[in-house]
Structure 1
Amino acid sequence: MGIKLIKIASVYLVIGILFGMFMSMTHKFGYASVHAHINLLGWASLALTGIIYYLFPNAGENTLAKVHFWLHNIGLPVMMIGLILYVNEVAHMEPVIATGGVLVTLGIITFMINVLKNVTR
Structure 2
Amino acid sequence: QLGNRESASSWREFFKDLKRRGLKGENLLLGAMDGLSELENAFTEAFPKAKVQRCVVHKLRNIAAKLPRKIQKNCLDLSSIERTFKEFRRRTRQMDSLPNEDCCLRCIYAMSMNLNQ
TM-score (norm 1): 0.30
Higher relative contact order (CA 8 A, sep 6+): 1
More helix by share: 1
TM-score (norm 2): 0.31
Larger radius of gyration: 2
More strand by share: 2
